[in-house]
Amino acid sequence: MMNQSRVSGFLLHGFPDIREVQMFHINLFVIIYLAALTENIMIITVIFYSHQLHTPMYFFLANLSLQDIGSISVTVPKSIANSLMKTQTISYSGCACQVFFLVFFMLSHYLLLGVMAYDRYVAICNPLHYETVMNKKACIQMATSAWIGGLFFATMYTGTTFRVEFCSNVLNQFFCEIPQLLKISCSDSDITVIWVLTFGACLAFIYFALIAFSYVQIFRAVLKIPSSHGKQKVFSTCLPHLIVISLFLVSGNFVYFRPTSSSPSAFDLLVSSFYCMVPPVMNPLIYSIRNKELKMAFWKFLANISPQFLEKNHSPV
């Protein structure tokens, strides 16, 4: 047994030492990571260069894509690097950084989803006041508040988590996360962390209730729209956001509120991989698959850069 002063690093026992399993893990993680980076960078680039997408909804979507890039970049590259170097170690400061930035990007992501729900609520339930309420200054303030809120909770959770004494340095996971760290903390030292997590869970539930209230009002307003085309247009912008919220909440709550097992299992790795890697890959697809404006802007962007690309690569030397 060792206390906090003796822990200089942690062992990430997420994947077995079998080389075939490690190679499969490396290849799969590289494909998923590159797919997430490509999709989210493309979303940000198209929104930035397309003036018709310079609206509050797409401004928040660009921020969401930036958070997706950050959240998947916190865990996946380190896991790939460990497998390539045939090591399972992570330093104490590296583990603290992983926890801090993962909580930062995840919670700012959650807060931004609430801001996006409010944006849809104003657009559908109060369309005459939309431009006044959701002006440029207000959008920047809302997005900034989401980032600052994530920073606040990340600082609070990381500080309280790493104040406890650890009775072991073995984590049954491929990255550092709060549930696994609490599992190896000494039983008489994690009361503060539990209270902080409970406090955060209560705030998250209240925030979720506000999001749910927004969508109840939205659907009530949609049902009053006489035109089927109008209803379809509203659903095409609201349903992707609801799917993203559901994907985020279900995966995150399942990880943080279920009992941690006493030994590593394939199911634990699958669940953690799901909540860390699936949302950053799926969010751009969910938002773009039925969004005609975004798809038109994407093809227009490609059409604008293709002639320049061809001209550059076929110009005489």
Domains with residue ranges and CATH for the chain = 4-310 (1.20.1070.10)
pLDDT at 59: 94
The model's pTM is: 0.85
Look at residue 230 in the predicted model and tell me its pLDDT.
64
Q: Which of 1-5, 16-20, 131-135, 218-222 has the highest mean pLDDT?
A: 131-135
Tokens representing 143 are: 């997005």
Residue 38 predicted with pLDDT over 70 = yes
**CA 193, CA 163: separation in Å to the nearest integer?**
9
**pLDDT for 13-30, tens place per residue?**
877 677 777 788 889 899
For residue 82, pLDDT over 50 is answered with yes
Helical (H) or strand (E) element with 23: helix 19-49
Q: Is the pLDDT of residue 310 over 50?
A: no
User: Mean pLDDT over all residues of the chain?
Assistant: 81
Residue 266's pLDDT is 66
Phi first, then psi, for residue 16 (nearest 5°) are -65, 165
pLDDT surpassing 60 at residue 317: no
Q: 9 pairs with which residues across the strands?
A: 91
Q: Give 162's DSSP letter.
A: T
Closest to 287 in 3D by CA, of 74, 61, 121, 131: 61
Task: Quote the tokens at residue 177.
Answer: 């996360």
Task: Read off the pLDDT of residues 226-255 as tens digits, 9 standing for 90 and up.
Answer: 766 666 766 666 777 777 887 777 766 666
Least confident range of 2-11, 132-141, 204-213: 2-11
Top-ranked range on mean pLDDT: pick from 73-82, 182-191, 196-205, 216-225: 73-82
Q: Which of 257, 110, 282, 101 is nearest to 175 (CA)?
A: 101
Residue 184 CA to residue 10 CA, distance in Å, equals 11
pLDDT surpassing 70 at residue 43: yes
